[in-house]
Amino acid sequence: NDKPIVNSSEQKLWKTKKLKNTFLVTTILFIVATLVLLVLFVLSLTGLINIPAFQIASKSSAIESKAYDTPEEVIDQFVLAIQNNDFESALELFAVNNMVEGYDFEAYVERINAFMPINSMAPQEYEAYSVINNAYQLNSVSNQIKMFAYSLLIPELDLTSMTFLQDIEDDNIDLLDELDPSQLGSLELVRTNFSSPENQRSEIHQDNIDRLARIYGFSDQEEYVALFEFEGDYYLGGFVLVEFEEGWQISGLGAPLAGVSFLGLEQITESEYLENFGD
């Protein structure tokens, strides 16, 4: 029953070796797990595999970009996406990726002769800012699409200000039911018109487009007004479209030269539209 005698120094050395081995094994396992997750994440981003856990990260960094040969085609595709409740396809028609990638921070500051951090993208020259700039642009266009839909679904409310619950209840409005996007399937694009032709073709406006083109990297810009019909009523909207190498994309849902807001559609009669914007 005699037990071997182990002195304290040998026992301490044995414990030290055991700790080192445990640490080494743990480190190796951590590195292997990290590499596996990294490979899976990259494959998810490229679309080679579909992993739900990585879908949010993949979609939040950038969206797929679609472009068409003419501004009219882009507008038609946007309306089709809204009719189909396909807001993802609607987002893909916007020049988010191209305007972020082509952004020239110094040209922007020089154009306005000022620096407004809250209303501008960060310098794209530094790669770290890319994801922030992308999110900034996505937030802007997503809000415009939301306001486009809301202005059709609840036209009786002022979407540019807060409406209190008591007022909503007094008007017998059930917001959840009213905001059901499936109703947008009946939306129709009646016609589009090149907005304010004289102003758009003026030398001053073309110079302004050239300066914007240097900031965002596009080659041309055009503005259109549009007449929509929804549930028996007519609505006025607008589109600013920009041309890149791939084709035309949407910059914003408004028409500033015609005084059409980017924050939703406004009701109008067909005769009023034709009188102000028709050929």
* Cα–Cα dist 129/55, whole Å: 21
Instruction: Find the distance separating the first CA and the last CA of the chain, reported in whole Å.
Output: 110
- Quick one: 237 exposed, middle or buried, by C-beta within 10 A (0-12, 13-18, 19+)? buried
pLDDT tens digits, one per residue of 11-62: 555 555 655 566 565 666 566 666 655 555 444 444 445 544 444 333 334 5
1-15, 92-106, 186-200, 245-259: least confidently modelled range: 1-15
Strand partners, 221: 242
Neighbouring residues of 152: CB distance < 8 A, sequence distance ≥ 6? 184, 187, 228, 230, 235, 265
Mean pLDDT of the chain, nearest integer: 85
| Claim: this prediction has a pTM higher than 0.85 | no
* Cα–Cα dist 159/150, whole Å: 8
Q: Is the pLDDT of residue 112 over 70?
A: yes
* Cα–Cα dist 214/17, whole Å: 64
pLDDT tens digits, one per residue of 212-269: 999 999 999 999 999 999 999 999 999 999 999 999 999 999 999 999 999 999 999 9
Q: Is the pLDDT of residue 140 over 70?
A: yes
Residue indicated by tokens 């917001």: 175
